[in-house]
Structure 1
Amino acid sequence: MAKFANIDVVEHKKPSRLDKAIKEVKNGEVETFKNFNDFEKSLNA
């Protein structure tokens, strides 16, 4: 039973995919757009 508890603790320490995505956006690694028109322009470029 103690082994399972350890595994749970380790699992929760991993950053989730959402946390990684938020971090990437904050670091400017992901291109963000002010509005949908800017997004469409980037697709056409």
Structure 2
Amino acid sequence: MNGLKPNTTYYVRPFATNGNGTAYGDAFVVTTKLVTYKIKVYLAK
């Protein structure tokens, strides 16, 4: 899955559609992690 926001809970229910109709899978919850960055700063002398 693309475009998800960090530290966010999503409720997902998969499905498939074909000529026979639509079938649904079990719903589940996905929580993305909080993204942290380590930045090094170098000062010029």
State the TM-score, normalizing by the size of structure 2.
Answer: 0.17
The structure carrying a bigger helix percent of its residues is 1
The structure carrying a bigger strand percent of its residues is 2
Larger Rg: 2
Higher relative contact order (CA 8 A, sep 6+): 2
